[in-house]
Structure 1
Amino acid sequence: MAEFAQSTARAGLSSLPARIILAEGWKRRAIAFVAGALGALALPPFDVVPTMAVPLTTAVWLIDGAAGEGGRGRLGPLLSAAGAGWWLGFGYFLAGLWWLGAAMLVEADQFAWALPLAVIGLPAVLALFPALGFALARALWSPGSLRVFALAAGLGAAEWLRGHVLTGFPWNDVGMALAQAGPLAQVASLIGLYGLDLAAIVIFATPATLIDMRHGARFRPNAAMWTAALLIAGFAAFGALRLAMNPTEEVAGVKLRLMQPNLPQDAKFNPRNGPDILRRYLILSDRATGPERTGVADVTHLIWPESAFPYILSREPQAMAAIARALQGKILITGAARVEGDGGGRRGKIFNAIEVLQGERIIAFYDKMHLVPFGEYLPFENLLRPFGVTQLVPGIWDRGQGPRALAAPGLPPIAPLVCYEAVFPGEATAGGEARNRPELLLNVTNDGWFGQTPGPWQHFAQARLRAIEEGLPLIRVANTGVSAIVDPYGRVIESLPLGVEGVIDGGLPKPAPVTFFAHHGWMAFPILWALALALAAAGRWLA
């Protein structure tokens, strides 16, 4: 560290890298926090993609500075790096997930007490993952430009772990910045979200290596710079070619109508509002949108959002009859609560489901299997309930069996995704065998909990990335938005923005040829991570 300090002094203490590298105490923590928070601007709805360079470039300099922080001994640099990673991660998650607090205010009399836990507590816990990633990176660190691969190996592994530990939470991974970068997103069809994480870390951290503090803060082209340039050029060329060679084609004979009611969340779960809600749905669903779509009579399939009713639809024969009369024989696919095994004074199982209705019959269903922790089920229930802790969504939801495909007359096999299930890469079509692979992603959701915040836009971006990964069209129907028809290359064909009542009419895009990720996605991350690890090791060997 003494040698580094001397070279930094020669470079001039006024240089930005030097100030960050030599920062200590609260200044070091503040730099990390602010850099992380600025990185959230790369996420929807802002989509200022270059800002992801702020936290990742700063990360390199903070880990450089860990050589002289954290006390004496071999663990000192690792602890210092972990501390910087925690503060950077805390800033990133606080700025990117603050909107979760809106859900606590829907029923403020019951859940306002949990607002600090959602807004501050969850980011604080999630920040443990980048803390671990920074410590691993520091263990692989070297003074040359190849240290960006050490950061990729460390932070990339942390992002993968975040997507899997305790059922996983792969929300706002750093790779989502590339998912918003036009043609560059198409590479997800090869390497998926976790591969994008590794690529994004290398690309956005490379600017830190262009200023060589060991040689008077001079600009020095290096291997990391050429790697990042090749990644950007290669991704852009691949994406542009893939989009140009594959125009959107539609399945013959399918005319979809997506209904977005924009129903206030505090009204949605009140059973007294049931008749008014159904009336609103039926009127909106039969709205004329043009000469060719004068109402339900001119569509083949009508789709409503998640948990569309404040009651069990199968127990309401009058509601079923009203729907059948209004739909005139058309197929309805809707989110709904479903009960199984009820009777004899015993509580049956209750599922957050998608149901397919034809006439007055429910002919197919899918039960949500990936439930939201604290939203739809209570982890460690026996420990927490005595303290008054409950889940946010009324009722106790049971976990469905699956994954499995959903069948609806007139449509190809469907991969159903209820709300949160759309954020997990590699799981969207896990229930489809090679000979019976789904040809459509159907995501019904209710993001009304989060109001007019970035949350619903972030959710839509992640669902859209699943379409690119799998090479399948996405039909997304949301209570308050964002509803959309997306082709298998991630192109938004039709959409309704957040906070708007209306319907979308459109055809069903045909699927793309099966992607590499869909066939071999499990291989992409381990291979790329091993490559990053090898390059990081090479950096140490060459130092």
Structure 2
Amino acid sequence: MKILTQRVALARGWRRGLLAVGAGAVGALAMPPFGFVPALALSLTPAVWLLDGTARGTRPQTLRAAALDGWFWGFGYFVAGLWWLGAAFLVEADQFAWALPFGVFGLPALLAFFPAFGFAAARLLWSPGAGRIFAFTFGLAVSEWLRGHLFTGFPWNTLGMALGQNIWLMQSASLVGLYGLTVLAIGIGASPALLGPGRTRSGRWTAPILALGLLAAMAGFGFWRVPAAPVASVADVRLRLMQPNLPQDAKFHPGNREVIMRRYLTLSAAPPEGKSPTHVIWPESAFPFLLHRSPAQLNQIATLLPPGTHLVTGAARMDEPLPGEEVGKFFNAIQVVDDRGTIVGSYDKVHLVPFGEYVPKLLDALIRAAGLRQFVHIPGGFEPSPRRGVLSVPGLPPVAATICYEAIFPGEILPDGERPQLILNVTNDAWFGSTPGPYQHFAQARLRTVEEGLPLVRDANTGISAVVDPYGRVVARMELGAEGVLDVDLPVAIAAPFAARSNMFVLTVMLLICLMASMAHRRRVAPV
């Protein structure tokens, strides 16, 4: 172990960069669909050893070396965890294949500046022994929080998701949320770094044993928290989730209007399993046309729905144009249609995907001037809704609606006002085919149930469609690439967990970790 530690810490040049990239890439194995939790230790332990070897010359030189190690580590982590984004550029390869390297390597290169900051922040508080684990945990956890909030935020594959997949371990999110799991994941994953030289044999094993004990305590808490029996179901509600498995390249062409509607209607009209559905749910952006301006299709929906039944579907919508405008503003929406073909409820997406659903106006002008276009076949892209409101669906309790990747933002999915009783997520992951992307998306949406104490109803074009109870247990699921319907009852919500009511616990823990790292650092630099 001594030789390995020294080889990593003292590596230089391209070998050091390659070590950092490789260590980061291994960490992606802890994310869905693999969920190999030990990969976290195999990734974060060498990261600590790399930081041990960054004490070079002046303090600015040391911080630059730490940031560079963090950038290479982050680049490896994000390329290995997000390479599947490249699949979206091949859906219309004749127009977007040229941009594939920017998606596969460009975005990871930008995201890598967050762990670069985290490594540098950790180095500011660095000290020998256990103190450096606190410094590393604090620096990297802060950088993960910043990644989830700055520049509209991108908390995809936050390190805490390594502990947010197992039904027992994920229950700790009810206390500390995703970012609390991130603090725990980093501290646990980095603890084997103390097995290196510089401590007694018994002292080297203290931190890893404590880390394993913490994992066991988390699992025990989860076992205690999750009831043995299924939760009750909401009375007089029966959901039908329709998963059409429609390829993205065939979907948004107006010429396919009738073919697509026929497919939706045929699947949705299948004989029910058990009770007849009261609500039919279709995925995000289900139509290559504006549903609210298509009376023929609304009439078809009315013919499909039995009396008292409602359709809840993703659908783009357009406001009336203002004076002097040719077209109005477009919104990525969820619309509720009753059995007469009337739209009786609507929700507009708040958190849009940068460069996917909108492009900043200056860049949009440059793209068009170059003869290119953005992904969405919408003039100027979508507009964000200014506020997140409750979606009212007749016959359902109040709904916290989310469209696509809105569901990955912890603490941001609930509307103002009364607490909803379920989370609805409609999405279209067909852009990414049979890659890890849809599995990662589902896992992150699933964790929201534990944080908020609410059931999740998720309908996806190509999968994964599912209903999840407020403890994160999957009640029913349709796999990626399947076609059909899922008939299932709606689980009831439970009381709001601690994480849904306050984030003070996580803030307190972060301050304590920072304080312990600072005290260890001050002891190291104090004069003798």
Contact 2:167–2:472 (CA<8 Å) still a contact in 1?
no
1:337 is the counterpart of 2:337? no
Task: Quote the offset at 1:305 in angstroms.
Answer: 0.2
Alignment correspondent of 2:481: 499
Deviation at 1:181, TM superposition (A): 3.0
CA–CA distance in 2 between the matches of 1:356 and 1:333?
5
Moved more, 106-115 or 458-467: 106-115
Q: For the Cα contact (< 8 Å) 1:260–1:478, is it kept in 2? A: yes
Partner deviation per Cα, 1:83-142 (whole Å, 9 max, x = no partner): 111111100100000000110111111111110100000001100100110000011111
Contact 2:167 2:473 in 1 (8 A): no
Answer with 18-27 or 473-482: which moved more.
18-27
Alignment CA distance shift 1:506-1:542 (3 Å)? same
Deviations 1:128-177 (A, max 9, x none): 10011000001111101121110111000100000011100000011100
Give distance in 2, aligned partners of 1:507 and 1:461: 21
Q: Which amino acid aligns with 2:350?
A: M
Matches within 5 A, 1:394-413: 394-395=377-378, 396-413=381-398
Alignment correspondent of 2:7: 19
Q: Which runs of 5+ in 1 are unaligned?
A: 1-10
Normalised to the residue count of structure 2, the TM-score between the two structures is: 0.95
The alpha-carbon deviation at position 312 of structure 1 amounts to: 0.3
- TM-score normalised per structure 1: 0.92
3-state DSSP of counterpart to 1:220: helix
Q: What does residue 289 of structure 2 align with?
A: 311
Q: Is the 8 A contact 1:407 1:413 kept in 2?
A: yes
| Letter of the structure 1 residue corresponding to residue 236 of structure 2 | G
Query: How far off its partner does 1:388 sit?
Result: 5.0
1:45-194 equivalences under 5 Å are 45-68=33-56, 72-194=57-179
* Higher deviation after alignment, 147-156 or 379-388: 379-388
Amino acid across the alignment from 1:512? I
Cα distance in structure 2, aligned partners of 1:144 and 1:50: 22
Q: Deviations over 1:293-332 (max 9, x none)?
A: 5xxxx11000000001100011111110111011123100
CA contact (8 A) 1:482 1:497 kept: yes
C-alpha RMSD over aligned residues: 1.7
| Aligned equivalents of 1:144, 1:46: Cα separation in 2 | 32
Aligned position for 2:214 = 231
Alpha-carbon distance, 1:390 to partner: 3.9
Q: Secondary structure at the match of 1:404?
A: coil
Do structure 1's residue 455 and structure 2's residue 414 form an aligned pair? no
Partner of 2:283, secondary structure, is: coil
Distance 2:436 2:208 in 1: 33
Q: Within 2, Cα distance between the matches of 1:49 and 1:226?
A: 16
Q: Which residue among 435, 448, 453 is the counterpart of 1:466?
A: 448
Contact 1:339 1:348 in 2 (8 A): yes
Which amino acid in structure 2 is aligned with residue 432 of structure 1?
D
Does 443-452 or 48-57 show the bigger shift? Answer: 48-57
How is 1:394-543 mapped onto 2 (pairs within 5 angstroms)? 394-395=377-378, 396-429=381-414, 431-433=415-417, 436-521=418-503, 523-543=504-524
Residue 198 of structure 2: aligned partner: 214
Task: Report the equivalent of 1:353.
Answer: 333
Q: CA deviation at 1:16?
A: 1.5
State the shift of 1:428 in Å: 1.2
Q: How far apart are residue 360 of structure 1 and its match? A: 1.3
Q: Which residue of 2 aligns with 1:5?
A: none
Q: Secondary structure at the match of 1:237?
A: helix
Q: CA deviation at 1:27?
A: 1.0
Shift of 1:246: 6.7
In the alignment, is the contact (CA less than 8 A) between 1:471 and 1:512 conserved in 2? yes
| Residue type at the aligned position of 1:340 | D
Matches within 5 A, 1:256-267: 256-267=239-250
Identity of aligned residues (%): 53
In structure 2, the partner of 1:4 is none
2:224 to 241, 254, 267: 241
Letter in 2 for 1:272: G
Cα distance in 2, alignment partners of residues 538 and 250 from structure 1: 52
**Paired residue total:** 517
Flag the 1:139–1:390 CA change in 2: closer, same or farther, 3 A: farther
CA contact (8 A) 1:138 1:150 kept: yes
